[in-house]
Amino acid sequence: MSDIHIDDFYRDTAKILVQLYSQFPRKFTLYVEDIAGQDKPDEFGLHSPRHLACFHALLWLAGADYLHFETTIRQEAIDQVVLSHRGFMLLNSVLDDDAVCPPLDTPAPVAMQELLIVNRLRRELKTGSSYSLAHLVKRVMSASRQL
């Protein structure tokens, strides 16, 4: 049995990394709601546990050197965020033990693009299950230790 908050972490991580890659090298403001969906703070102004988990996933990714940012905007966003060198190189690489092979008639540059980690994450977010996305994110994080 899977812990839901860990599945959410893997999905948030994939979404965050893909969004940062799509803006690279431009710094921008990344809102938690863009990743975790709309949140409605309670009567005391406190965010939901789901929102806070996503916010802390952003902070964790920064602490693990996947991204850099200048400041937080309360618990709603991180400002001037950009992929770190490590994050960019990771997303722009191929998993060494990747068993997925493109069709033989696919041109080499296109085949390589399909195998890039960022494109694997994009496909998995669109069509994969929580299990397959978690498996891919774990493989990506394991591969990042080699960078």
pLDDT of 114 reads: 83
Q: State how far the Cα of 143 lies from the Cα of 107, in Å rounded to an integer.
A: 26
1-38 core/surface letters (b: 16 or more CB in 10 A; e: else) = eeeeeebbbbbbbbbbbbbbbeeeeeeeebebeebbee
Q: State how far the Cα of 83 lies from the Cα of 138, in Å rounded to an integer.
A: 19
- Report percent pLDDT > 90 for the chain: 71
pLDDT of 99 reads: 47
pLDDT of 115 reads: 87
**6-59 confidence digits (pLDDT tens):** 999 999 999 999 999 999 999 999 999 999 999 988 888 889 999 999 999 999
- Domain positions in the chain are 4-144
pLDDT of 103 reads: 55
pLDDT of 107 reads: 56
**79-134 confidence digits (pLDDT tens):** 999 999 999 999 999 987 654 555 555 555 666 788 899 999 999 999 989 999 99
* Least-confidence region, from 2-6, 64-68, 128-132: 2-6
Angle between helices 4-23 and 130-144 (to 10 degrees): 60
